[in-house]
A and B are shown apart, each in its own frame.
Chain A
């Protein structure tokens, strides 16, 4: 037990110093008993409903948009003369600033629950977009290019975008006499668009009588619709660009009922890749630089000389048709446990991490869950990430026969205090759910003394 405590202590001490980009769905974990989409987080989760159906449009969406450098309070702050408090905005900028947007649109979710298992067929459209820019870029705009800013490095000026559809088939079932559930989902992936500019590696140096723009070299990779858009000789056959990339993904999960009150669970999701075959195009810039020294007034105007200098840089960027390549999904891990406080209440502790570029990007969440049968399920928790408790997550599912309404967020702070919020995270959707497996089990227990088993059709 001491080892466990020591381990926990180490994690709690280290966590504040870790920075990450995790976009976890802790609240989905907290509502997993009644939220069919929680099965996407852990295929070993078996919803309490016998039959679940989410249709296009009704199924809603899960959206997460965040940035790490400003909020409404900063954007609306004014000076005494009613001008924008731009210095306040500037001061809050980080060395590396980021805007991220993720959207997951469930197209179809069809699930069947048996007494010991759950099988689901899902189709989701997912998109992930991130742009990051260094403070030095704002330095140039806000402060200029003199003095300390005469040597600016625009490291981490990057852009990444990935859009794909996943068609998944999952199955989870109880084993060890119900003490444990295991599940897996295999996903067929269709890549739609991909762009990755990991770093422009740009720098701008201002000398006494010249300005030099340099890059240490970069490669911009595009595929699918993005690659098609970059083609000079597109033939209008866009459908190929949208549907030609293929891939596979795998989610694995398990739960273990340690005691009547304690359950452990874990999952690893999005193991897989997409192979981009067509419309792949690379833009490759070698390490190079251009220097602008001003106009030669006998030959060119200032504008012509500037255009000529920038064009010479542009001309060094080589466009090439790229061969087939694969991109990995961003795998993520959930590990945790729950403690049943009472029949309807439990506490959860969830550790989350993304496998981002070979490193673990962790988050830790403590959560409270209240469930009133399959009718109402509520969860709220706090997430420790980037060294501080910066996310309060909450949400509920409410069954309004036969619909189930789900509203949840992983960033309650931004909702209740939008002025200081830096993100928007919301899950909204309506599921069609039928049957309560717990009611069936309860009836089953009541009928266990009888000699004839009854079958519960599960329609409330």
Chain B
């Protein structure tokens, strides 16, 4: 019994201890908030770019090449004005004489005797041209038919030219015993069918008839009273090629505009000031017609801020006969004239060209449907220049920065410059609607360098909340959604020294940040 008591006592003691411990457990309160402030270092940007990269980024259609160690930007359009041979030469519509078909006495007798007769005929119409040779590619053949046989008829026609079948035509009529006259009209397009008309032996348009007449109402035919009349015409024909003495034709282009404010298309390059030392500009001509062509620039005007400035150019260019396989080409160099134009920073340049096709009226010419003449231009800008006011803007997104939780941030900029430019950097905090909230950094970060001797610089920007003040100096971060980097570039000596830019020369730019940020996690039930 005593042992049992002791056991009970021990059990009670254990229960009391356990109860005490677990009552502590029920009083436990988990923290309502977890808060800590790690110091983090993060590389944000590591980028290197050449001028060519920037040009590609701005407009991928800009072409460039390296020439004698200098980057040359090329802008060209070889068909500022373009006309095909069909704009100057065409085929007129052609109406052929009427073709009557009458029956012979024997055929009439056979009809009257047997009640039916079938006749076959062939007729020829000459296709004549002043040219040596004409190749017709497509067109319409119109056919008008009228007959007055007092019988039922079945007519089949086949029309061909130069052994090329153009139409198969069929017409049936029934005689009603009262009115013997019927008419028909048919228009057929022929396409992808080429036939040649040669002037030395006129090409014949061949019409093959097959006519079957059947007696109706027991009516006999009378000699020479009944015919089938056919009228043929060619309309809307296009040539494939013309050979011979083609006429002289005048060329007059509309005024064409060349935009020269392309740098303004790159964001924030509006303030750019430049001087190109050796710009090259030429008007290019191409002739693939089999006639000589004379070109003459009749208008070369540049516009700046609405003002027109005409440049007088008295230079005509004659191109010899060309062909599709071997067009004749030439160009008119206007380097000196254009240097003054481009360095005046025009908004646009207009160009108009007149000309004459076959100015000397040579006898043996040709054109094809694909022959044409083109007038274009080629602008080459070697980057041998002075430059200032070139501002390159880029930005990157930063989200969810709670300024109340940021204790400090140190931004570290590192740059290396191989370009002959002085570069200053501005970093700006932007709001969602791109409003400038605060300038984080503004200083010259690079001086002009070279491929052999890049200029290296390192800069720091520290932003921190001053615990001594009541306001939070980093409040602007709350509204910051992007950080804009504005790189301002000028050639050496404040844009007064002519420098050469290589396509290999680049700017290396890196931005890293070290910051302390307070993270908090709300662990309360609410």
- Which residues of A are at the interface with B, using a C-beta cutoff of 8 A? 72, 75-78, 82-86, 140-147, 150, 206, 208-211, 292-298, 301-302, 415-419
Contact = CB atoms under 8 A, between A and B. Distances in A.
A298 B57 contact: yes
B31 A76 contact: yes
A53 to B, nearest CB: 29
A295 B46 CA distance: 6
A84 B35 contact: yes
Interface string B31-44: 11111101111111
Contacts of B516: 144
A146 B39 contact: yes
A86 B36 contact: yes
A292 B510 CA distance: 12
A143 B44 contact: no
A144 B414 contact: no
A83 B54 CA distance: 51
A120 to B, nearest CB: 31
Given A297-B45, A302-B396, 9 more contacts: A78-B29, A83-B35, A84-B35, A141-B38, A144-B41, A209-B512, A293-B510, A295-B47, A418-B21
A424 to B, nearest CB: 13
Nearest to B28: A76
Nearest to B33: A83
A294 B21 contact: no
B34 A86 contact: yes
B32 A82 contact: yes
B31 A209 contact: no
A72 B29 CA distance: 10
B24 interface: yes
Given A84-B31, A142-B38, A143-B38, A211 B47 contact: no
Contacts of B25: 72, 418-419
Contact of B412 (A209, A293, A301): A209
Interface residues of B, number: 43
B39 A143 contact: yes
Contact of B397 (A82, A145, A301): A301
Given A295-B47, A416-B21, A150 B41 contact: yes
A392 to B, nearest CB: 12
Interface in B16-68: 17-18, 21-22, 24-25, 28-36, 38-49, 53-54, 57
Contact of A294 (B24, B33, B510, B520): B510
Contacts of B45: 294-297, 302
A85 B22 CA distance: 22
28 contacts: A72-B28, A76-B29, A76-B30, A78-B29, A83-B33, A84-B34, A84-B523, A141-B38, A143-B38, A144-B40, A145-B40, A146-B40, A206-B41, A209-B43, A211-B41, A211-B43, A292-B43, A293-B46, A295-B45, A295-B46, A296-B47, A298-B57, A301-B397, A302-B44, A302-B396, A302-B397, A417-B21, A419-B28
B135 interface: no
A301 B28 CA distance: 47
Nearest to B410: A146
A416 B396 contact: no
Nearest to B20: A416
Nearest to A77: B31
Contacts of A150: 41
B19 to A, nearest CB: 10
A69 to B, nearest CB: 17
Given A75-B30, A78-B31, A209-B512, A418 B22 contact: yes
Most chain B CB within 10 A, of A83, A141, A211, A301, is at A83
Contacts of A211: 41-43
B4 to A, nearest CB: 11
Contacts of A206: 41
B514 interface: yes
Nearest to B40: A144
B511 interface: yes
B32 A297 contact: no
A140 B519 CA distance: 13
A84 B34 CA distance: 5
A79 to B, nearest CB: 8
Nearest to A370: B7
B479 to A, nearest CB: 20
Given A293-B46, A294-B45, A208 B34 contact: no
Interface string B497-520: 000000000000011101010001
Contacts of A293: 43, 46, 510
Contacts of A416: 17-18, 21
> Sorted from nearest, which 5 A-B pairs have the closest CB atoms?
A144-B38, A84-B31, A294-B43, A293-B46, A294-B46
B394 interface: yes
Contacts of B35: 83-84, 86
Contact of B510 (A76, A209, A301): A209
Contacts of A294: 43-47, 510-512
A178 to B, nearest CB: 30
Contacts of B43: 209-211, 292-294
Contacts of A296: 45-48
A209 B29 CA distance: 43
B168 to A, nearest CB: 64
Contacts of A298: 47, 49, 53-54, 57, 394
Contacts of B523: 84
A82 B31 contact: yes
A158 to B, nearest CB: 24
A376 to B, nearest CB: 9
Contacts of A415: 18
Contact of B394 (A208, A297, A302): A297
B39 A144 contact: yes
Contacts of B396: 295, 297, 301-302
Contacts of A82: 31-33
Interface in B381-400: 394, 396-397
Nearest to B398: A302
Contacts of B41: 144-146, 150, 206, 211
A78 B49 CA distance: 52
Most chain A CB within 10 A, of B17, B32, B48, is at B32
Contacts of A141: 38
B270 to A, nearest CB: 21
Contacts of A84: 31, 33-35, 523
B44 A295 contact: yes
B404 to A, nearest CB: 15
Contacts of A210: 43, 46
A147 B29 contact: no
Interface string B119-156: 00000000000000000000000000000000000000
Contacts of B514: 146
Contacts of A143: 38-39
Given A301-B397, A302-B44, A83 B31 contact: yes
B361 to A, nearest CB: 59
Contacts of A295: 44-47, 396
Contacts of B44: 294-295, 302
A287 to B, nearest CB: 23
A243 B170 CA distance: 86
Nearest to B17: A416
A85 B523 CA distance: 13
A302 B43 CA distance: 9
Contacts of B510: 209, 293-294
Contact of B46 (A75, A209, A417): A209
Contacts of A86: 34-36
A372 to B, nearest CB: 9
Nearest to B53: A298
Contacts of B24: 419
A146 B408 CA distance: 13
Nearest to B14: A416
Nearest to A291: B43
Contacts of B57: 298
Contacts of A142: 36, 38
A211 B42 CA distance: 7
